[in-house]
Chains A and B, each alone.
Chain A
């Protein structure tokens, strides 16, 4: 099976712009979660989608939004970018049965730099 694919890998934007990141989960996985990781920091949970519905949400401002399509692919959008949004954005998918629903399978991430 192909792993989780995130595009683009690198992105440079300026303050005030908006950005859309894409994530293709492992085939058959219906849950997609997004995380923000800043240098030296842990994984800050953004939101999780399951079957096109947002099931969980972290403590991020409304500038951060996401969606999931019927094929389970997901996008996240950040509007009005701020310098502090510079980070590695990780997407993870998980399955629906047994242990597989608890394990997060991560993509390599999109590194966003805001200038």
Chain B
């Protein structure tokens, strides 16, 4: 069936280092791929998106890479800060649906 999965359920990084969160997807019909961040006690919030016809997009301290050949998506966070500690979800959007991955918890060590 359709699925979006993550390679690592938890990731621990040192403050100031770069973080890379990976995601595998299975639906080739998705138009957009989106990353969300969920902090404790809050709902997920949009971070960055990438269209299916792109392979890289940069935001403020974040970069998303899309490899359609192997159906792989990654989120890179530069100079990770304590405020980046959260659960990160990837999502794909085939048609009117949004399919979320299982989530990766990012711990930032001071």
Q: Report the minimal beta-carbon distance from A29 to chain B, rounded to whole angstroms.
A: 14
Chain A interface residue bracket vs B: 20 to 34
B103, A102: Cβ atoms closer than 8 Å: no
- Tell which of A4, A41, A102 touches B98, judged by Cβ atoms closer than 8 Å: A102
Q: Interface of chain A, helix or strand or loop or mixed?
A: strand
A58–B102 Cα gap in the complex (Å)? 16
Nearest CB on B from A59, distance (A): 10
Q: Give the interface segment out of B11-19, B36-44, B66-74, B77-85.
A: B36-44
Contact of B45 among A31, A55, A106 (CB under 8 A): A106
Known: A43-B89, A99-B32, A102-B49. A108 touches B97 (CB 8 A): no
Q: Which residues of chain A come closer than 8 Å to B34, judged between CB atoms? A: 102-103
| A42 & B46 in contact (Cβ 8 Å cutoff) | no
Indicate if A75 sits at the interface (CB-CB under 8 A).
no
Q: When chains A and B are docked, how far (Å) is the Cα of A43 from the Cα of B87?
A: 11
What CA separation (Å) do A89 and B101 show in the bound complex? 17
Whether the pair A102, B44 counts as a contact (CB closer than 8 A) is no
Q: Is residue B31 within 8 Å, beta carbon to beta carbon, of the partner chain? A: yes
* A90 and B96 within 8 A (CB): no
* Chain B CB within 10 Å, residue with most, of A35, A42, A107: A42
Residues of chain B having any CB pair with chain A under 8 Å: 31-32, 34, 36, 41-46, 49, 89, 91, 93, 96-103
